[in-house]
Structures are given as C-alpha cells and as structure tokens.
Amino acid sequence: MVKAIIFDCFGVLISEGGFSLLNGTISNEKKNIELLSYIADLKKDYKIAMLSNVNNAQSLFKRFETNEIKLFDEVIASGDIGFAKPQAQAFEIVADKLGFRCDECVMIDDREDYCMGARSAGMQAILYESLDSLRSQINTLSGN
C-alpha cells in the first residue's frame, strides 16, 4: 500500500530552462503549477517529499513560494545526505525520514535510470511524462 509519494524537482516540479527560438534567449525555469496543485490534493492521503540531486535543500527552497514548500513533509537534497539518485541509499533515507519502508513509497522522476534506482531500493516508481499520465498511474496504484 502506497503511503508516500516522492517527487523529483528538475524535470518534474520545475521544467528545465532551454533555448527559445522565438527570441534567441535562454528561458528561465518554470514551475509546474498544475502538478503542485495536484500535490495539494494528494497531500490529503499521502506523505509528500521532494528528492533532488542538488548540493543543498536551501537551493530548492529558493525556487518555491512558502505555501508550495509546505506541501512537502520532507525536502531532501543529495548534497545534504551524501548519496545521490540512483544510489539506493538516497531513496532509503527519504523513506526513513518520512517514517515508511521503501515498499510503501513511490518515486516520481523524469529519468528512467533514477526510477530504476528507486525500484532497486524497493520502491515503486513512475516515469514522469505528463500530469494526465501521472494521475492515471497514481489512481491505478491506489486502486481508484
């Protein structure tokens, strides 16, 4: 039974910046507002965490408003714990901080190698491709 959902930051919660052909500039990162709204709904039934391969959690906090950060029960940066995705220890640490076993957690990431790392630690994992696909897969996991 899934009790916690863990989200990657870049590529899932925040789209990575890119080159704009329209004006020839590098675009800024963009928050996935629709996903953050969905997470607010998920928080009613699940513990929620963010796990990212960055130096420290403070670099993540700067990208979100206070009310958005409050959606997460834990925000974990690989630099703060000494392990990075896809290492099993990174997933084990976040599960432990949430108070659950790995098999009670699902990892949402846009990289298949990180999903594979989560699975090797005993978690379920969903490759993030779109919000609609994510909703469908979470509904399937929860039996809805």
Report domain extents, the chain: 4-142
How many whole angstroms separate alpha carbon 12 and alpha carbon 7? 7
10 and 52 Cβ atoms separated by less than 8 Å: yes
Fold classification of 4-142 is Rossmann fold (3.40.50)
Low-confidence ranges of the chain (pLDDT < 70): 16-28, 144
